[in-house]
Structure 1
Amino acid sequence: MMKKTSKIILKSIGVIAILIVLFLVIVFIVNLISNKSEQGKIESYGQSVVVDGKNMNVLIQGQGEETVVLLPGYGTASPALDFKPLIDELSLFYKVVVIEPFGYGLSDESEKERTTENIVSEIHEALQQLNIDRYTLMGHSIAGIYGLDYVNKYPNEVSAFVGIDSSVPTQGGTDDEFPTEVYKILKKSGFFRLLMKLSPDQLVTPTVDDETREQIRILSLKNTFNPNNLSEGENFFPNFKAAENLAFPKSLPVIFFLQANDTETEGWISLHEEQVKESIHGKVITMEGEHYLHHTKSKEIVEKFKEFMEVIK
C-alpha cells in the first residue's frame, strides 16, 4: 500500500513539474512572438536627431515665441504620449519640445552608463542639434535630479525650471538596492508581459483614445527593463548623491507643482520649499492628484506657470 501511494505521489509531482515547465515555455514563446509582432505595430511620431552617433526622438508642437522643453520621469515608456495632455495645453502658447532620452519612447538605446552626466549631456546635444538655445526646462519626477545638474551646467540657456512632482536629492529611499537581476528575468521570461495582461491597470497612461493607449502598452513592454532603463535604476543612488551638493541658481525662476498628499516620501512639500528658499523667484504649488499630475491637472499647471512667468517679466 505504501509503495503504491509513493508511486502515485511521485507521478503527481512529475506531472506537476512537467506542467510548470510547459507553462514557462509557453509564456516565453508567446512573449518572443508578441515582441516581434508588436515591433511592426509601433507608430512613429516626432523626429530623430543624431546624438552621440545614435538617433534620439523628439516631438515638437506649437508655434510660440518661447520654448518649453519637457523631460520625463523614470521609466516613462513614451514621453511624447505620456505628456500629451500637457503638450496640448502648453502648445497653445509655447513651442513645446519633448525629449525622449536614450532607452525611452522611440529613441535608440545607448551603451553608455545612465549617469546624470551622460543623460544631461545627451539632452543638451539634442537641443543644440535643433538650434534651441533658450528655453524653460519642465520635468517630471526624476527629471528634478537631472534638471538640477542641467541648470547649473547651462545657466545661460535655461530661463526657468518647472518641476512636476519632481525628485529632490535629499528624499529618502534612494539607497535601496536596485533588483536588476529580478527585472532581467521578468523581461526575458515573458512574465512581465503576463503580469501586464493579468493586471492591465498597472499601465500608467493619461486619458487618451484606445489607439494611443495601445501604443503606450506596446512601448511599455518594449522599453521597461531594457538595458538603459536598468542602468538608470542602478545609478539612482550615485545620481541622487551627486545632486546633494547642487542648488538652483538664486536668479533662476523655479516653480514646483506637487501632489498635496504624498504619503510615500516624508516631508515631500517641505523638501521642495527648502530647494527654493534662496530663490529670488521660487514658488511651490500643491494640487490634489497622483504623482503623474500632468495626466489630470495640465490645464491648471499651464495657467499657473503662465501667471508665474508673467509676474517675473
Structure 2
Amino acid sequence: MKAKFRKDLEFVKINGHKLHIFRCGDANKPKLVFMSGSGTVAPIYDFKVLYKKLLDDYRIIVIEKFGYGYSDLYECPCDIDSVVSYQKQALKMIGEKAPYILLPHSMSGIEAIRWKQMYPDDIKAIIGLDMATPLTYMEWGNKEIHKRLELMRRLKKLNNLGLMFWYPISKRELNKDEIQQHNLLKRRNLMNNCYVNEAMQVLKNAKIVARAGKAECPTLMFVSDGKQTSPNWISNEQKYAKSVNAETVFLNCGHYIHYYESDKISSKIKAFLSKLA
C-alpha cells in the first residue's frame, strides 16, 4: 500500500489554500508559537524534540507556512508584512488569541521581529532559536543570496529526479509513523518554489524590518557556534541582543540547536518565562 499523509490534521483556509497548524496542550496556559527556518520541510516534526519537553507547562502551536509541512504548496506573496499577517490571521481563525510567545528559528527571526513591530500587543516575548537578524541578511547582500538561491535550484532539480534520498532529516523523538510522514514531506516539499520565493525576498524584507526600528519585548536568544551559518553570525546576534537588552545563551552546537541542546534550551525557557508570569 502506498504511504499517504496522515488525516488527523487541522487546517485553515487562507485565500482558498490550506494552511496547517499543529497545536496541543492546555489552551489556558501561555502560548508558545514555533516558527521554522527557511526550507524546514516538516516543522511539526522538526520541533518535536523541543516542544515535547515544554508541553506540560505551555500551549504548543506550530505554524506551517505555505510550502512547509502539510500546508499547500501555494506561492503566496512573500513580502514580510503579508507573511506575518496571514500567520496572525490563521491563529485568529482557529481561536488562538494573543498574547503569544514566539520561538523563531533562523530566517523566521525577522518575521518574529516584524510581528512585534506590526502588532505589538500580540507578542509577550520572543525566544530566538538561533534566529536570524536583519543585519545578517543585509551583510550578505544580493551576491550571497543569489549564490544560495542557485544552490536551492540545483537541489530542487535533484529532488525532482528522486536523487535527494540522502538528504538528512531529524528523527529525534519521532515514532516510526512520524519518521515515515517526515520522509513523505521531504520528498514533496524539499526546495519547493515557496522556499525559493522567500529567499528571493529576504534582503528586501530584512531592510523593511531594520528601518522599522526596535521590537522591544522580553527576549531570550539561543545562539549556535556559527559554523553552519555565515561569517559574523555570532557578532550580529550579539549586536541585536544588545539593542533590545536580550538575554543570550551561547551553545556549542550547530544551527538547528533544538536537535542538540533541547534539554538545556527547555530548562532555560522555563526559567526565563517564569520571571514574566
Coarse TM-score class (shorter-chain normalised): 0.7 to 0.9
Match of 1:42 in 2: 5
1:293 is the counterpart of 2:265: no
Q: Secondary structure at the match of 1:159?
A: strand
Count of matched residue pairs:
267
Match of 1:213 in 2: 179
1:186 is the counterpart of 2:186: no
From the CA coordinates, give the structure whose radius of gyration is larger.
1
1:240 is the counterpart of 2:206: yes
How far the C-alpha of 1:206 sits from its partner, in A, is: 4.1
Instruction: Note the alpha carbon deviations across 1:246-275, whole angstroms, 9 max, x for none.
Output: 44433x001111113536422322212221
AA aligned opposite 1:173: W
How far the C-alpha of 1:304 sits from its partner, in A, is: 0.7
Q: Secondary structure at the match of 2:52?
A: helix
1:91 is the counterpart of 2:47: no
Query: Once structures 1 and 2 are overlaid, which stretch shifts more, 158-167 or 114-123?
Result: 114-123
Match of 1:154 in 2: 119
AA aligned opposite 2:230: T
How far the C-alpha of 1:134 sits from its partner, in A, is: 1.2
Match of 1:57 in 2: 20
Q: Residues 6-155 of structure 1 correspond to what in structure 2 (within 5 A)?
A: 40-63=3-26, 65-131=29-95, 132-155=97-120
How far the C-alpha of 1:181 sits from its partner, in A, is: 5.2
CA distance in 2, matches of 1:224, 1:44: 21
How far the C-alpha of 1:45 sits from its partner, in A, is: 4.6
CA distance in 2, matches of 1:278, 1:234: 27
CA distance in 1, matches of 2:185, 2:171: 15
Q: 1:139 to 1:276 in 2, by over 3 A?
A: same
CA distance in 2, matches of 1:174, 1:220: 29
Q: Secondary structure at the match of 1:105?
A: coil
Q: Secondary structure at the match of 1:235?
A: helix
Instruction: Note the alpha carbon deviations across 1:22-62, whole angstroms, 9 max, x for none.
Output: xxxxxxxxxxxxxxx86x52224541112232211011111
Gapped runs of 5+ residues in structure 1? 1-36
Match of 1:228 in 2: 194
Q: What is the root-mean-square deviation of aligned Cα atoms in Å?
A: 2.2
How far the C-alpha of 1:215 sits from its partner, in A, is: 1.9
Query: Once structures 1 and 2 are overlaid, which stretch shifts more, 205-214 or 146-155?
Result: 205-214
AA aligned opposite 1:256: M
Q: Secondary structure at the match of 1:103?
A: coil
Q: Secondary structure at the match of 2:120?
A: coil
How far the C-alpha of 1:240 sits from its partner, in A, is: 2.4
CA distance in 2, matches of 1:181, 1:292: 22
CA distance in 1, matches of 2:226, 2:191: 29
**Under a length normalisation based on structure 2, what TM-score does the superposition of the two structures give?**
0.88
Q: 1:299 to 1:125 in 2, by over 3 A?
A: same
CA distance in 2, matches of 1:248, 1:257: 19
1:307 is the counterpart of 2:274: no
How far the C-alpha of 1:67 sits from its partner, in A, is: 0.6
Match of 2:140 in 1: 173
Instruction: Note the alpha carbon deviations across 1:125-181, whole angstroms, 9 max, x for none.
Output: 111112222110111111111111111011001000011011111114352212265
Q: 1:183 to 1:241 in 2, by over 3 A?
A: farther
CA distance in 2, matches of 1:106, 1:93: 26
CA distance in 2, matches of 1:210, 1:83: 16
Q: Residues 251-262 of structure 1 correspond to what in structure 2 (within 5 A)?
A: 252-262=217-227
CA distance in 2, matches of 1:263, 1:225: 18
AA aligned opposite 1:219: L
Q: Report if aligned partners of 1:59, 1:80 keep a CA contact under 8 Å in 2.
A: yes
Q: Report if aligned partners of 2:14, 2:86 keep a CA contact under 8 Å in 1.
A: yes
CA distance in 2, matches of 1:231, 1:215: 25
Gapped runs of 5+ residues in structure 2? none
Identical aligned pairs, as a percentage? 25
CA distance in 2, matches of 1:218, 1:102: 16
**Under a length normalisation based on structure 1, what TM-score does the superposition of the two structures give?**
0.78
